[in-house]
Amino acid sequence: MNLKIRTYCNIENGVVTLNGENLDGFESNQNDLLKDLYVHLKVDYPKFYKMDNLSKLGLLGVELLKSVSTSLAQMGEDDLGIVLQTKYGCLETDINHQARVDEKSPSPAIFVYTLSNIVIGEISIKNKWFGESILFIEEPRKLDNLIRHATGLILNNKAKTCLIGCLDSYQNQHSLKMAIIETGNDGPAFSLENLADIFDKK
pTM for this one? 0.94
Q: What is the mean pLDDT of the chain?
A: 92
* 88-110 pLDDT tens trace: 998 888 888 898 898 888 888 88
Q: Tell me what the mean pLDDT of segment 103-121 comes to.
A: 90
The number of folded domains in the chain is: 1
Residue type, 106: P
pLDDT at 1 over 80: no
Q: Which residues contact 21 (CB under 8 A, 6 or more apart)?
A: none
Q: Tell me what the mean pLDDT of segment 61-84 comes to.
A: 93
Given pLDDT bands bounded at 50, 70 and 90, which one contains residue 117? Answer: very high
Domain range enclosing 88: 3-16+24-200
CATH code, domain with 52: 3.40.47.10
Cα–Cα dist 54/201, whole Å = 21
23-27, 47-51, 154-158: which has the minimum mean pLDDT? 23-27
